[in-house]
Structure 1
Amino acid sequence: MHPSLTCTSLTFAWPDGTPVLDGLDLAFGPGRTGLVGANGAGKSTLLKLVAGELTPAGGTVRVTGEIGHLPQNVTLDTALRVDETLGIAARRAALHAIEAGDASEEHFETIGDDWDVEERALATLGELGLAHIALDRTVGEVSGGESVLLRLAALLLRRPDVLLLDEPTNNLDLYARRRLYAAVASWPGVLVVVSHDRELLDLVDRIAELRAGGVTWYGGNFSAYEESLAAEQEAAERTVRVAEADLRKQKRELSDARATLARRKRYGQKMNDQKREPKIVMGARRRAAQESAGKHRILHEERLAEAKERLDDAAEAVRDDDEIRVDLPYTAVPPGRGVLVLRDLETAHGARVAGGLELRGPERVALVGRNGSGKTTLLRTIAGELAPVSGEARALVPLRFLPQRLDVLDGGLTVAENVARFAPGATDNRIRARLARFLFRGARADQKAATLSGGERFRATLAALMLAEPAPQLLLLDEPTNNLDLASVRQLTSALASYEGALIVAGHDVPFLESLGITRWLLLDGEVREVTAEEAGFPL
């Protein structure tokens, strides 16, 4: 049988009662599907339900074949050996025992027919750019990006019929991403991928958009989806304009009908006062006029109600991609003012800044490099979280650091309460007014941080840091587009475009970095050196 995945009447809500999915019907067949949707739409939750990591409140999930799941946040025991992570430790140990002369039956049973397991494992690691990682090494010796690829390698070795990938390019450098793209492009079974990586989504065969509790299918890759969406939006906006014109027309006609009725009433009253006709005739005429005018008015009121309904339906089809608006004058840094000084710096990871490096004015610096090169360590050293091995890292203005793991927020507090922690002198009204600019309006500001989606959590963390007191004039961002959908990436870009302080952004998403108006590119490869944008796009 062909592998397949079917969800029937799938329903799920969080423990606090917040609904996520309600009666969702969905089926995935062979081929590659990109699952897209706004943060909070339920994409990651859906994958966890399908993988059996969450239990639905209602409905069923039916999978034909074995299923494999690469979650958004890969956490591996750092004490595990690489062969244990790959799931081949027992077979490998049995193989080595037999090679050493131990012919126990249990070893043969353990191996089964998988005599080339070690060769396949090494080949898979090589295909993912991990040939340098020995099977006896521990997970604690590899970088975050390499641990993601290790988890993917384990899935590839298992050869599941259905593969679920949730933001698989998070924490991967450009070289590792290319390896992942190749694995996805050659996948033979059912593959469902949630990602904000445009290049990855352009490898899929179809797009499934999860929106407002339902799924809409689009043939082709992400670029084709965007073209279809643009055409839909253009048509929806035209429909809104037509509906608005119709609504104005119905309002005018209703107003005219009411004016006509009023004139008839005044005329009838005048005739009655002057008693020009017999009373019984005037009464009959008045009743007929009122009945006719009433029907006329009701007809126009019904038409007006229908016009409003058509406008509401048309407006629902138009997407409202709100933008984060940041207006923080105290974050501005005058041109030429010193912001950061690094002198003969060596970090705990071994990265070095030979001589001196200065940041002045509202510069925008991109920090790029391979996984494991020490970008995060350098940012944490600048932020004061880690002490340098030698040299100096001195910030000359207030700074804030946005880490990859978004562990800045207290999950037990609301969004507003978290922001208040960073700005204790601000009133509740001021905090809520500013949070509205980060799209946390009304009750959304009272959501517990633990219930936020990845993108919402990022937005709340960004709000807490940017609204902090004193206002940050230097922002350090570590892989900020991880866990964000494409709409959220656009929101982040607009927020940073209006930020007037200095920026240092570590990342691998070169198109995103270029959209920020980067003024300097720094490549970390043992030592920090300034490079061109072209060199930064393909770090060696």
Structure 2
Amino acid sequence: MPVSATQIACTRLSFAWPDGSVVFDGLDLALGPGRTGLIGLNGSGKSTLLRLLAGELRPTAGSVRVAGEVGYLPQNLTLDTTQRVDRMLGIDAVRAALHAIEAGDPAEEHFATVGEDWDVEERTHALLDQLGLGHIDLDRTVGRLSGGETVLLSLAALLLRRPGVLLLDEPTNNLDLRARERLHAAVAAFGGVLLVVSHDRELLERVDHIADLRDGRVTWYGGTLSRYEEALAVEQEAAERLVRAAEAEVRRQKRELIEAHDKLAGRSRNARKAFENKRDSRAAMRMKKRTSQESAGKLLGLHQERLAEARERLETAESAVRDDDEIRVDLPHTAVPARRRVLSLDGVRMRQGSRATLEVLGPERIALVGRNGAGKSTLLDTIAGELAPAAGTVAVHVPLRYLPQRLDLLDAELSVAENVRRLAPGADPQHIRAQLARFLFRKNRPDQRVGTLSGGERFRASLAALLLAEPAPQLLMLDEPTNNLDLASVRRLTSALGAYRGALLVASHDLPFLHGIGVTRWLHLAEELTEIDPL
């Protein structure tokens, strides 16, 4: 990338948390105009890198240089719900000055505040219309907005500043399908330097580059996520061939070392016989023995050196092969017969006013979709018995387990295995550990305290606790399960749900994920719950 085009540059960047945990050690990164998708496993440091670029964190060593104004949208927004929309957008002072001038107040400070920004209200309304927020009154308070509207409004506040660099951290997590489309369009139209952390496949199909953050280093791939996955598959196939070749070389060097040992042992036996038969003088025998030992030492040393080199090449080859194992479980006790009644909602009216009537039979896989604020989480909470309906009845006819967005199923102070035992008290501890290995908690990982797990690991532990619970769940409900998961974790979740044989009810805006788990029925929640054609 030409130096003149570079607008973000990290040189020998290092960062460690106060407890000494190292995130980066000598990272070099250069980023110019265009849209870049930053991907990587949960815990690899993606959000930390964005915070360093935004100036929220200071590197422990090295430097970060950013040319131009930076706009940063963090993953978890904390807003003052009492402030007005125009203040959140950063245009309240200019609006007040404009209104004062329009009312006939010619004070010089009003003109100084407005500067060249006479069309600020027109620009703001045009941008809000593009983001689907044209209905929002600039004088209303933020507290009346939904979570998705808050995210889009925060993005609008950044775009109104016309930043040269835009940093987005999982911007589509809480957006419904229509809001996602609008954010995708805003990303596609941005003309500066854009760096977005996301697991949203549709968003990552709109970028110009993929930056893969792994083991504290970034590897660049040109093109979209699909192009990246194609290139990665080719790389991994080549890496696996190198591993097989390196393994064969190690086996060959081991055989040659054994053969060398056997050959030297034969020579040693012949030397002993010669000494016993005294065919040569004692001095000559000692000379032959010394020469033989030196030759043997050199030969063995050569073979040992070759074996060590072969092992080193194998280790290097193995390090290039990614360990992105999939969850593989067998869950026969979750099976539901084809016509068995699973769930009945009869004239249910929820607290926010939406209504639902529903009958679920057999192992249906149901997607629950709808705009932000429609009440999808409220409906799941009502089915789970966490909220009482305002009217109507809810009847669950099979064992039910529910994983809400807040991931509060587990006790952070207990280990992974202890949390599973809480939900399956009759299970044999060794059986639990064997099953947890299939959820990729191997060796001592089941003994790790949940509070120390990364987001993806915590989700995996929660999923294991649900699926291994007693009695086995024959109705599983998940609320936005792919939020905050990296792409590998989404693949793992998809494969785990492939082994699930019960009924599935999933609230999600992630269409590729919903198609991946084989949804058989689509429900849309607005004022009423209705069945719709597949999306």
Deviation by residue 1:31-62 (Cα, 9 ceiling, x = unmatched): 21111111111101111122122333333222
Mapped to 1, the partners of 2:10 and 2:450 lie a distance apart of: 29
Mapped to 1, the partners of 2:468 and 2:9 lie a distance apart of: 45
Mapped to 1, the partners of 2:409 and 2:61 lie a distance apart of: 34
Contact 1:40 1:452 in 2 (8 A): no
> In the TM superposition, what is the alpha-carbon distance from 1:151 to its structure 2 partner?
1.0
- Rate the CA distance shift 1:426–1:130 in 2: closer, same or farther, 3 A: same
Deviation by residue 1:248-303 (Cα, 9 ceiling, x = unmatched): 11111111111101111111122222333333333333332232222212111111
1:27 partnered with 2:62: no
Return the TM-score normalized by structure 2.
Answer: 0.93
Contact 2:201 2:512 in 1 (8 A): no
Mapped to 1, the partners of 2:346 and 2:450 lie a distance apart of: 38
Give the aligned partner of residue 236 of structure 2: 233
Contact 1:161 1:189 in 2 (8 A): yes
The gaps in structure 1 that reach 5 residues or longer are none
1:399 partnered with 2:419: no
SS across alignment from 2:515: helix
Contact 2:26 2:62 in 1 (8 A): yes
Q: Which runs of structure 1 show a deviation greater than 6 angstroms over 4 or more consecutive aligned residues?
A: none
Mapped to 2, the partners of 1:449 and 1:94 lie a distance apart of: 53
Mapped to 1, the partners of 2:142 and 2:191 lie a distance apart of: 29
Aligned residue runs from structure 1 range 1-80, under 5 A: 4-80=7-83
The gaps in structure 2 that reach 5 residues or longer are none
Aligned residue runs from structure 1 range 128-527, under 5 A: 128-354=131-357, 357-411=358-412, 413-423=414-424, 431-527=432-528
SS across alignment from 2:81: coil
- Rate the CA distance shift 1:240–1:96 in 2: closer, same or farther, 3 A: same
Contact 1:3 1:162 in 2 (8 A): no
> In the TM superposition, what is the alpha-carbon distance from 1:22 to its structure 2 partner?
1.8
Mapped to 1, the partners of 2:453 and 2:124 lie a distance apart of: 38
SS across alignment from 2:458: helix
Mapped to 1, the partners of 2:105 and 2:56 lie a distance apart of: 39
SS across alignment from 2:182: helix
> In the TM superposition, what is the alpha-carbon distance from 1:521 to its structure 2 partner?
1.4
- Rate the CA distance shift 1:422–1:48 in 2: closer, same or farther, 3 A: farther
> In the TM superposition, what is the alpha-carbon distance from 1:495 to its structure 2 partner?
0.9
Q: Residue type matched to 1:437 in 2?
A: R
Contact 2:6 2:31 in 1 (8 A): no
Q: Residue type matched to 1:347 in 2?
A: M
Q: Residue type matched to 1:197 in 2?
A: D
The aligned length equals 532
Return the TM-score normalized by structure 1.
Answer: 0.92
SS across alignment from 1:76: coil
- Rate the CA distance shift 1:135–1:407 in 2: closer, same or farther, 3 A: farther
Contact 1:2 1:64 in 2 (8 A): no
> In the TM superposition, what is the alpha-carbon distance from 1:381 to its structure 2 partner?
1.1
Mapped to 1, the partners of 2:441 and 2:373 lie a distance apart of: 35
Give the aligned partner of residue 121 of structure 2: 118
Moved more, 380-389 or 452-461: 452-461
Please give the root-mean-square deviation of Cα atoms over the aligned residues, in Å: 2.3
Moved more, 207-216 or 408-417: 408-417
Moved more, 166-175 or 424-433: 424-433
SS across alignment from 2:464: helix
- Rate the CA distance shift 1:490–1:417 in 2: closer, same or farther, 3 A: same
Moved more, 302-311 or 113-122: 113-122
> In the TM superposition, what is the alpha-carbon distance from 1:319 to its structure 2 partner?
1.0
- Rate the CA distance shift 1:13–1:470 in 2: closer, same or farther, 3 A: farther
Contact 1:261 1:290 in 2 (8 A): no
Contact 2:400 2:476 in 1 (8 A): yes
> In the TM superposition, what is the alpha-carbon distance from 1:515 to its structure 2 partner?
1.2
> In the TM superposition, what is the alpha-carbon distance from 1:442 to its structure 2 partner?
4.1
> In the TM superposition, what is the alpha-carbon distance from 1:343 to its structure 2 partner?
0.6
Mapped to 1, the partners of 2:352 and 2:141 lie a distance apart of: 18
Mapped to 2, the partners of 1:424 and 1:100 lie a distance apart of: 72
Mapped to 2, the partners of 1:3 and 1:102 lie a distance apart of: 46
SS across alignment from 1:508: coil
Moved more, 208-217 or 321-330: 321-330
Mapped to 2, the partners of 1:451 and 1:52 lie a distance apart of: 26
> In the TM superposition, what is the alpha-carbon distance from 1:446 to its structure 2 partner?
5.0
